[in-house]
Structure 1
Amino acid sequence: MSGPQPIIKPATPNFSSGPCAKRPGYDLANLNTATLGRSHRSSLGKAALQKTIDDTAAILKLPADYRVGIVPASDTGSMEMIMWSLLGERPVDVCYWESFGKGWLTDIKQQLKLENVNAFGADYGELPDLSRVDPKNDLVFTWNGTTSGVKVPNADFISDQREGLTICDATSAVFAMPMPWEKLDVVTYSWQKVLGGEGGHGMIILSPRAVERLESYTPSWPLPKIFRLTSNGKLMEGIFEGATINTPSMLCVSDYQDALDWVKELGGVEQCIEKSLANLAVLEKFVAEHDWIHFLAKESANRSNTSVCFSVDLDDSQIKKFIKLLADNDAAYDIGAYKDAPSGLRIWCGSTVEQQDLKALLPWLTWAYHQVA
């Protein structure tokens, strides 16, 4: 039977998996707006862009010879740019276990029309057999399946003697999970995920091996201007020095810088990871104590600590009522499963979410379940 409606609500009921919650204490008034109304190619604009690049590299502790660039169109733009620019030189292994990873496979086969492609897939909640990855091939995979709540537990499946490139979509993993950079040749992400930034801009991180491929290999297909990373066979270094391919929103850049500054104040990326794991532990305890809610991830080692996905012992119509009930009561916004995923819940647990808000949410989950069951 349902108990009384809870009284205490999360102070910030934003549990969306993208755009994600703003950092604690976020205030628009605190953003540096000196660049607004100025050219992004002015010395002021380029300096602001360069600072975000430098701070990103420093906070993530990237190897000194890795490059960081700001590109258009969020993580999707980053991944498309990389796939169109790098793939085709050798066979490609694609590992996928949710909608976005499967989308990269579709683009590789149907848009780029590559023929020598190996697809290693798994259903929602599971990982494919990663041991099948061939170190001679290029590899495309998502570190964390945002729509399935399943992550790779480590990068042991990637060979240190690999010949191909590893291309990793890490948009809901960077700043929340340890990244073994020496195993990753390309990493992409977007500001609106783990750091709760604004949408529309993507990031690419390139290893020297990726740069060498860009400068030595020319795809057989034409590249739109917005995808081009080289000019006359050389890397366009300006992209990695604050000269973006197209005009960025300097307001969004300032917002991203605010998030980076917060990470530094928190103590660094390790503290972000610890906070996210502590948030996940709150939900793990709750699931262990309630038999009507279950993690979609089959193995705990593969369980995401950012986009945490659940199945619930309710039918589809009941789940919709459950989600609406929480939103109507301002207890939780945007926690429904992704449209292509199995019906259920998805609760963001990245470091911008406060543990006390998750704890305040739990009685509401129980109440809402009994209201609609």
Structure 2
Amino acid sequence: MKRAYNFNAGPSSLPLSVLKRAQEELLNFQNTGMSVMELSHRSKEYDAVHNRAQTLLRKLMNVPETHDILFLQGGASLQFSMVPMNLLHEGEVGNYVLTDSWSDKALKEAKKVGKTHVAASSKEDRYKYIPKIDDIRLSDHAAYLHITSNNTIAGTQWHEFPNVVTNLIADMSSDILSREIDVEKFALIYAGAQKNLGPSGVTVVIIRKDLLEKSSDSLPTMLNYKTYSESRSLYNTPPTFAIYMLSLVLEWVEEQGGVKAIEKRNREKAALLYNCIDESDGFYRAHAEKGSRSFMNVTFTLPNEELTKKFLTEAKERGLIGLAGHRSVGGCRASIYNAVDYEACEVLVDFMQKFKKNVS
């Protein structure tokens, strides 16, 4: 079977070796006579999977013991609500940097919970850049500063994180595990799995333990971070198959040489595509400004809508899938998450060069 070159923004490409291993183990996981999907989440076999995922993530991201690792459901969208519900209290203000529609949605949910403040924004310029750190203006009584580390729609990314006097919170759904970061700088990191961590279904939350005391006991049980921390994310049935797949992806990252090696490859892939765009004499134009370009989502436009449709149609015919840009930006988008290999980017660049030559 010929595999597609998968550039979807999410759910995204998974490592082929991971898919093959899951296929091999699907009907009989570790001689249990059952699929991992059928195992009790209280069984020792599943418990080992659960622990393996948490241990590997802590190791690969160098998560300090001051932080807890939680497995939740509901995606990043639920975290838009859980963050302010747990961490934004009377007399405090949730601060947000707006860099795409996802951060805008996070702000919208926080407004339902308490007071908010826009500390910086690139919204008026169609989110083409990440605001300068010096331009961030915190409110008085700031409970936290929320950022979106990578922006899938606009194709922008924070390449330097702000040092702030309040708690720094990041939605890292689309670039977690793609580069080395200092987790200690963050009070809370959250990420839906379906970009770099595995299939959709599990959401990872990395939270500084002292923040757990800010979660009020009056919150609904399943919306309280303490519930997951105190139960090792086993208060109710977790998304067991998604966590199993997460553990396999983390093993794959370790086999590749860890996050440092993954980051090197991601930078090489992004450079290949951006060089093609920049050397096209304006035929392809990057949406994001150079200093803010994402290594995960390469967004670009063609001279007109007719050529864009033709480009996408011919790309699909050649097995290049998921290249349509988001409707709010238009054009094209190549999402090159960890599991998208360098060869796939070479094939895309070759197609882009030949397409330009054929229509010019």
Distance 1:224 1:212 in 2: 15
Say whether residues 1:21 and 2:13 are aligned partners.
yes
Aligned CA distance change for structure 1 residues 230 and 257 (closer, same or farther; 3 Å): closer
The structure richer in helix per residue is 2
Structure 2 counterpart of 1:133: 137
Deviates more, 1:123-132 or 1:344-353: 123-132
Residue from 305, 311, 319 that aligns with 1:322 = 311
Q: Structure 1 vs Structure 2: percent identity of aligned residues?
A: 20
Q: Secondary structure at the match of 2:71?
A: strand
**Cα distance, 1:189 vs. partner?**
0.8
Question: 1:165 maps to which residue?
Answer: 167
Q: Who is 2:349 aligned against?
A: 362
Give, as a single letter, the amino acid of the residue that structure 2 aligns with 1:13: Y
Report if the CA contact (8 A) 2:301-2:308 is conserved: no
Residue ranges of structure 2 left out of the alignment (5+ in a row): 31-35
Q: In 2, distance between residues paired with 1:286 and 1:11? A: 24
Q: Which protein has greater RCO, CA pairs closer than 8 Å, 6+ apart?
A: 1
Aligned partner of residue 230 in structure 1, secondary structure: helix
Is 1:294 matched up with 2:285? yes
Cα-Cα RMSD = 2.4
Distance 1:31 1:260, change over 3 A: farther
2:170 pairs with 1:181: no
1:307 aligns with 2:297: yes
Aligned length: 342
CA contact (8 A) 2:276 2:353 kept: no
**Given the two structures, how large is their TM-score scaled by the length of structure 2?**
0.87
Deviations 1:126-156 (A, max 9, x none): 123433232852111101111111111111x
Aligned 8 A contact 2:284 2:301 in 1: yes
Whether the aligned pair in 1 keeps the contact of 2:98 and 2:118 (CA below 8 Å) is no
Matches within 5 A, 1:208-247: 208-214=209-215, 218=216, 223-230=219-226, 236-238=229-231, 241-243=232-234, 245-247=235-237
In structure 1, the partner of 2:33 is none
Does residue 1:339 correspond to 2:327, yes or no? Answer: yes
With normalisation by structure 1, the TM-score equals 0.84
**Whole-angstrom distance in 1 between the partners of 2:212 and 2:222:** 18
**How do 1:1-373 residues align onto structure 2 when only pairs under 5 Å count?**
12-25=4-17, 26-27=19-20, 28-31=22-25, 33-34=29-30, 35-89=36-90, 90-109=92-111, 111-112=112-113, 114-122=114-122, 123-131=126-134, 132-134=136-138, 137=142, 138-155=144-161, 157-159=162-164, 162=165, 164-195=166-197, 197-214=198-215, 218=216, 223-230=219-226, 236-238=229-231, 241-243=232-234, 245-291=235-281, 292-300=283-291, 302-315=292-305, 317-327=306-316, 329-340=317-328, 342-369=329-356
SS of the aligned residue for 2:5 comes to coil
What CA distance in whole angstroms lies between the structure 2 residues aligned with 1:48 and 1:13? 30
**Which moves more between the two structures, 317-326 or 259-268?**
317-326
Cα distance in 1 between the residues matched to 2:24 and 2:260? 25
Q: Distance in 2 between matches of 1:177 and 1:83?
A: 27
Counterpart CA distance in 1 for 2:128 and 2:302 is 14
